[in-house]
């Protein structure tokens, strides 16, 4: 007897790779999709498809036969990458997200979870280090991170419309700087915890390391198992 048929997009990435391992342990029948397989260890997915989800037909192939979708696929990286690639990120992710939710509708997917980001939160609430913890309803009035944050916020609304108009059971999670084993640590797309670990590990006695900002800013982090 087959378990729940589950698709994880972005399955070659850090969070997607760990999520697949969890779902398999839970007894799900898991299909992973990404441009490339995981970098540091083999996937636990029962099936892994290397597909470019910017293309509509690939999204349809990915969701075929699935009852649930965990949609993590995105063009993303650390703040250095996302702040310098607004056009490419926005275009790539808009194509991926629109085609994926349309494919989910056509395939009558029962549930779709979208991986959003803390980048959707307004910049005007984060201008000083003594910041008040953000809440879900702080997203509006909006002033998200340019590019990456803006397209994430738009997809959140598209998920809302899909639930209201098409009865797809959509859910949204907003991740804050997830870290842990098997995360990317170099190449320009790594997140802050991995970057600072790499810099410290490569230091010789007497060396200094470069950090961005004035040293007073605060960040929220979440361990991958949580």
Query: Which contiguous run of DSSP H or E holds residue 172?
Result: strand 169-175
For residue 21, give both structure tokens.
């391992």
Phi, psi of 170 (to 5 degrees): -85, 150
Q: Catalytic residue among 148, 161, 185, 223, which?
A: 148
**148 belongs to the catalytic site:** yes
Collapsing DSSP to helix, strand or coil, 140 comes out as: coil
Nearest to 13, CA basis, from 79, 70, 57, 62: 70
Interstrand relation of 222-223 and 178-179 (parallel, antiparallel or unpaired) = parallel
Rounded alpha-carbon distances, angstroms, from residue 131 to 33, 145, 177, 221:
38, 17, 17, 15
Instruction: Collect all residues with Cβ–Cβ distance below 8 Å to 123 and sequence separation of at least 6.
Output: 143, 144, 145
Residues with catalytic roles? 148
């Amino acid at each position: 007897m087959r378990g729940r048929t589950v698709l994880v997009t972005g399955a070659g990435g850090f969070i997607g790779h760990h999520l697949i391992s969890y779902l398999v342990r839970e007894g799900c029948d898991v299909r992973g999709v990404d441009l490339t397989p995981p970098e540091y260890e083999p996937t636990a997915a029962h099936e892994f498809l290397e597909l470019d989800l910017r293309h509509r037909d690939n999204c349809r192939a990915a969701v075929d036969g699935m009852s649930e979708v965990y949609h993590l696929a995105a063009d993303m990286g650390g703040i250095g990458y996302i702040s310098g690639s607004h056009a490419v990120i926005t275009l790539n992710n808009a194509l991926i997200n629109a085609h994926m939710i349309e494919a989910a509708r056509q395939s009558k997917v029962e549930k779709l979870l979208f991986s959003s980001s803390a980048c959707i939160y307004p910049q005007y609430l984060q201008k000083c280090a003594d910041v008040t913890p953000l809440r879900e309803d702080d997203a509006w009035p909006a002033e998200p991170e340019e590019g990456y944050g803006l397209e994430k916020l738009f997809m959140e609304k598209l998920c809302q419309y899909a639930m209201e108009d098409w009865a797809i059971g959509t859910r949204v999670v907003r991740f804050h700087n997830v870290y842990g084993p098997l995360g990317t640590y170099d190449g320009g797309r790594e997140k802050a915890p991995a970057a600072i670990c790499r810099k410290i590990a490569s230091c010789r006695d007497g060396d200094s390391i470069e950090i961005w900002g004035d040293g007073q800013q605060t960040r929220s982090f979440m361990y991958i198992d949580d």
